[in-house]
Amino acid sequence: MKSSNYMCVLEQIYNFLLLTPDFKSKTKSEKIVAYFKALNEGDETDFKFNNSNKVSGKFGNKKNILIMSAPEISNKYKFLSWVDEQVNS
């Protein structure tokens, strides 16, 4: 199965979010939700944040991602490796 979310795209989204004015003041959970909201391939109505531990949307072949096991988002490469595993496995 071919990856639809290449690492360079995952990193571009990460880098873009770092440039947004209020990103650094958000909580870990809010940052992760913002990341997946930007990664969502559908329109805004396709994206949902459920129970503080799951995001739903269109992420390549995946529709639901459990975010409670996400590493610290400030650790860029560990976080992006985790995202890659979640959306491309």
For 40-71, write each residue's pLDDT tens digit: 998 899 999 987 799 999 998 899 999 999 99
Radius of gyration of the chain (CA): 12
Q: What is the mean pLDDT of residues 69-87?
A: 96
Instruction: Say yes or no to pLDDT of 2 above 80.
Output: no
**What is the distance between the alpha carbons of residues 10 and 27, in angstroms, rounded to a whole number?**
20
Mean pLDDT over each residue of the chain, to the nearest integer: 91
Whole-number percent of the chain with pLDDT over 70: 94
pLDDT over threshold 80, residue 37: yes
Asked if residue 72 lies in contact with residue 60, where contact means CB atoms within 8 angstroms, the answer is: no
pTM: 0.90
Instruction: Output the six-digit token pair for 75.
Output: 């650790």
Helix or strand or coil: residue 2?
coil
Count CB atoms within 10 A of the CB of residue 47.
Answer: 19
